[in-house]
Structure 1
């Protein structure tokens, strides 16, 4: 997210005109005829999600009420235009079930998109919340479709793949592909083509060190962050198979969703405040992925809760992520805390810890809806 954007009660009201406020839209595109901007951040997010789902150009046509639409709800609607109004209407209408939009109406070549009442945003389904949390965590390290991310041996992990960057060094990549094989072995083999035999040989190597060495020989580019083009294409094909993407989500649920439940249960035991807001849950999920949980900071969290007596889920979550971040290795403390606070606040937060500074940003912050998640504990239990 670019610096300088100005919000008032979650309405975007100003900033650098050419700033990208989401991956495909600049601030200036939401300006009215007088150059003023007044649009709710949830609507901006919904329009970006629509653009992503369409997979092709989408223009902001107007932010002015017309044709009997948009009256009395300034900032909560927008007119858009694209090469197929029918496709826009169909896709946006499907998004209503996830509460991205409340109303979708076509008028000629334009489509009016209206968001739900921001004072009463509908809750997010847990499956959708987990998928978004995965995307947000992945966006700290990768760009583009997180399910197609392939990273070489720049960090000693050999080969890393997917939104969670499962890798050979930890054995998580091997486990993920065992699950893929069980889910749809035929589709998996088709992704590799003539490379399938070599891939099977890799997975049968007797040690992870040998597997990492294999990946190192195929790592390319500056610092070995990229990977051999042929192998990269095969792995990206895996990331495009719907059944295997679903298995990635299931793996994330099994591995990190359960850690999140342990984290939520422990916090509730220390301070009986129920954590349901997606921003809080996404911050804690990111913590579970990167740091495994709160165990190493239990005593520090207890002391701070006793001293500060937090009254809401945001204050409680902030204590948890800050104290767990401070228990990391000194060189990573600022980074850990800044990353989690970036999620919690939906903007970069500068942090200084142990003589180091960090101000992490994330291109997927627009996915952080300020809404509760329904029955998250039951879903992950």
Structure 2
């Protein structure tokens, strides 16, 4: 995906050396997961509202990033940066340079949103990097590794890397497709990718197994090279670009479901990133519930929509997906063994109207 980019002021996004404290009047919530019989109540609006134009407590280095104009003017870049921080915190502890080997059969996953070879989400970013900052790649990879990576990517796209307009595989306009699965966390995951695309991606996975992996772990020199690449301003911008289509899709969902609160946008973004979005089946289930509960609060609607989405998640992953989403809805909870309180971590008010 080639997005027209403009450099937006980002000084208000840079990590605050001392994060603003959320007012002490914030309701203390239980850190139990949603499997508990007693659900936490919603996070109350702090007395001192953290304005969306103020600095958020960003754990990500946002300097030098070109923010795509498509995300919108005003506070949308702040909301996007917050979504990147929050959802990115689930994907690994190293932010932009998150990297994992072939433990999940995807070959290698890299970056804040863990784009990977197996799903064909990493190759477009690396191809763009070759085109936009080739000198950085040449510095980070020894010559033989640089050439090997380039050949693999050219095989993947069936053409020389000089071919322009590598497009994102995310379509923000298709909100409720008539499919059984959206990604590999759903039941029947093989049905979300075409055989041709799967075959192309498998070539990259096989390359990773033969070249950069020792078992399921990444060989040290390759790991260092990829991580050095991933923290460059150019590649961080590409990661933002890749996240933009998903953020726009999340905005569309927020509008479609008539949500108004900041937390709802954050939930929609996390669903798009982790689960691919919603299908027509999920929409039908939710609309049937809504017809019976026309005066439901926004929190109740979020929980009902989450329940609808969980109906097609592989049982192995249901509780993980539930814990992530419900913790964003409530503002806090236990996720991956850690107690989280997002408004305090990232200095925002979840109930702000946007």
Cα distance, 1:262–1:301 mapped onto 2, change above 3 Å: same
Cα distance, 1:359–1:252 mapped onto 2, change above 3 Å: closer
Match of 1:327 in 2: 312
Q: Secondary structure at the match of 1:348?
A: strand
Match of 2:231 in 1: 240
Cα distance in 1 for partners of 2:121, 2:341 equals: 24
TM-score using structure 1 length: 0.58
Aligned residues: 256
Match of 1:200 in 2: 150
- Shift, 1:141, TM fit: 3.0
Within the alignment, does 1:131 sit opposite 2:81 as a pair?
Answer: yes
Within the alignment, does 1:219 sit opposite 2:217 as a pair?
Answer: no
Are the equivalent residues in 2 in contact too, given 1:126–1:374 (CA < 8 A)? no
Cα distance in 1 for partners of 2:129, 2:312 equals: 35
Match of 2:349 in 1: 370
Q: Secondary structure at the match of 1:338?
A: helix
Within the alignment, does 1:318 sit opposite 2:303 as a pair?
Answer: yes
Are the equivalent residues in 2 in contact too, given 1:335–1:360 (CA < 8 A)? no
- Which has the higher Rg, Structure 1 or Structure 2? 1
Cα distance, 1:190–1:41 mapped onto 2, change above 3 Å: farther
Are the equivalent residues in 1 in contact too, given 2:56–2:347 (CA < 8 A)? no
- Shift, 1:203, TM fit: 1.4
Are the equivalent residues in 2 in contact too, given 1:129–1:373 (CA < 8 A)? no
TM-score using structure 2 length: 0.62
- Shift, 1:166, TM fit: 0.7
Identify which of 256, 261, 269 aligns with 2:251: 261
- Shift, 1:229, TM fit: 0.8
Within the alignment, does 1:275 sit opposite 2:260 as a pair?
Answer: yes
Cα distance in 1 for partners of 2:142, 2:284 equals: 52
Cα distance, 1:47–1:293 mapped onto 2, change above 3 Å: closer
4+ residue stretches of structure 1 with deviation over 6 A?
11-15, 372-375
Cα distance, 1:126–1:373 mapped onto 2, change above 3 Å: farther
- Shift, 1:169, TM fit: 1.0
Cα distance, 1:346–1:371 mapped onto 2, change above 3 Å: closer
Identify which of 128, 131, 137 aligns with 1:179: 128
- 1:286-345 deviation digits (Å, cap 9, x = unpaired): 101122212231111112212223444333222222221233223322222221001121
- Shift, 1:196, TM fit: 1.3
Identify which of 148, 162, 175 aligns with 2:111: 162
Cα distance, 1:183–1:311 mapped onto 2, change above 3 Å: farther
Compare the two structures and name the one with the higher strand fraction.
1
Q: Secondary structure at the match of 1:339?
A: helix
The Cα RMSD (Å) is 3.7
Q: Give unpaired runs (5+ residues) of structure 1.
A: 1-6, 16-39, 55-123, 269-273, 350-357, 376-381
Q: Which moved more, 1:150-159 or 1:286-295?
A: 286-295
